[in-house]
Structure 1
């Protein structure tokens, strides 16, 4: 079945990639059926610009023109109706809250992200763009220019995230010269989760990404060991808890798409 979803995505390169993992656009033509999709947790956060019809996230109506998506700890179901027209920025883990804080300081304001002069000007300019590529180009350039004045020479949370994605056995307190308590507090402040939960979330996400490749469908036990689970049953429990779906049901849903 051909999907009615018109989707495009760009993964920034260079300095912007430290802050932003993706810039994306999603549209459903007015004469097409709506689409429902599962959003797998990635520990990231984002800014969503809604240029069309209201959308549903876990049965809750989202109709504000600009919305900040808080750190994603669990899977969500999103429904895009006919006429949906979205464009968004997906931050790297821990960088969305930092962006908001630094943006407020730059603008010398206590206003919310939705009323930020920078964000509001982008929303107006996005409405004037003629196509998806123009919108993605606009956000890529605007956020690159903005974050180039924000980047710190050393950020322990960014370093911790990088290390945890490379290995689950790294000793953060020794590597970062911070106490375990300091690391836990900074993770809670920026990601609203502990380093341990972050590892669990990213491991589940990695498994589901691997299962998008059909040749892996018969290798669940092998994948469980490869991604650090004690066995296939452990992997199944973690996927159900964090992503809201088991590996087998995920594979079946992919075949039906």
Structure 2
């Protein structure tokens, strides 16, 4: 339903989970896709399977972003869409927070997104290497809108992604970059990260079992189920498309109503 033929896209954290699903969905919609990740073997396999290209990218490193985006532009022939998906979640009670875990989430989720915005905007704006404007989609989380136990710092980082999104959209508009910037709030999806969260919450004594943790999420969700990778990928494709051409600076909940 959404045609991205002739577009080029870069997806961070594209070697697995939501990022892989987003890369596949963008390719299925017609885009040429660069899969970016620190997991070289997995990322290269995904890229090969969708007829795309692989880029090694550590989202916490400025130089890695500069080199990775340049490689993507060269390999794809431009850059129209950037999906800042890479993220980490480390479950902990507030009373038991480990400073190293906090720093890791801040670096990957906040710094990584901020650097993605920096290099995406520089590349897509009129004087950039691609220079034709475009779309940036950041991946926040329903955790930015609810008070779910065990994920205090993760929630804080995803709230930061929302604020980064809105300010970047305003700057892009004011400075004539021609780049729309939005984010999505995924609900819980049973990827490796999502399953790990359920297990961790049970281990912390917040729920009787991982299944009880999942049931607690479903109970809070009017749609009555967990999200799927496809649900999140479809939202990214929509925001990347011309169907969303007047949608800018917003956070789109893709959470079955959990965060309403």
Pair in the same fold by TM > 0.5: no
**TM-score, length-scaled by structure 2:** 0.29
Max radius of gyration: which structure?
A: 1
